[in-house]
Structure 1
Amino acid sequence: MSFTLIGPDGRPYQSSTKGAWGGHCGNRIYGRTDCPAALRAIAKGGYVKHRVFFADEQTAIAAGYRPCGACCKGKYQAWKAAKERGERWTP
């Protein structure tokens, strides 16, 4: 079986391993694959068309995605504070 993941350059590639993190390519958000907010959106028929996957969290960050406010609250708050200060966020 092959899975399509997003690499650190933001480009898709094929992998034999399922992605450990999910994301939304339109909003450039990443989070856990069991994120309650993402699962609610999927259940309502949304999100799936824009869903992407990453091998790990570092790859999602390198590809320019930010942490989810629902399933990665602490990291999201740190990202938001850094953005408000005009700084680059690094976990």
Structure 2
Amino acid sequence: MTYTLLGPDGRGYRSPVKGRWGGHRAARIYGRLDCPSARRAIACGGYVRQRVFFADEATAIAAGFRPCARCCADRYRKWKNGEPWKR
């Protein structure tokens, strides 16, 4: 089985390994796969068409995504305040 992940350039590629981080393509937000906000949106029938996956957090950041305010609150606060937040 192969999975489609986004690379640092924002383009999809095939991987034999599942992504470890998820994101929303239109909103340019990334977060944990178990994010309560993402799970709620998916359960309500939304989000799925815009869902993307990343191999790691650094790749999500390189692709221009910002941290989720819910599941990555510490990183989000730093991002929002203009502080260094990248791991």
TM-score range, shorter chain: over 0.9
Which residue of structure 1 lines up, in the alignment, with residue 46 of structure 2?
46
Which residue of structure 1 lines up, in the alignment, with residue 72 of structure 2?
72
Question: What is the distance in 2 between the residues matched to 1:35 and 1:69?
Answer: 10
Deviation per CA, 1:8-61, whole angstroms, max 9, x where unpaired?
A: 011000000000000000000000000000000000000000000000000000
Superposition deviation, residue 88 in structure 1? 7.1
Q: What residue ranges of structure 2 are gaps of 5+ in the alignment?
A: none
Identity among equivalent positions (%) equals 64
Which residue of structure 2 lines up, in the alignment, with residue 6 of structure 1?
6
Q: CA RMSD in A?
A: 1.3
Question: What is the distance in 1 between the residues matched to 2:80 and 2:62?
Answer: 17
Which residue of structure 2 lines up, in the alignment, with residue 27 of structure 1?
27
TM-score, structure 2 as length reference: 0.96
Letter in 2 for 1:49: R
Question: What is the distance in 1 between the residues matched to 2:20 and 2:84?
Answer: 24
Question: What is the distance in 1 between the residues matched to 2:40 and 2:86?
Answer: 28
TM-score, structure 1 as length reference: 0.91
Letter in 2 for 1:90: K
Work out the number of aligned pairs and report it: 87
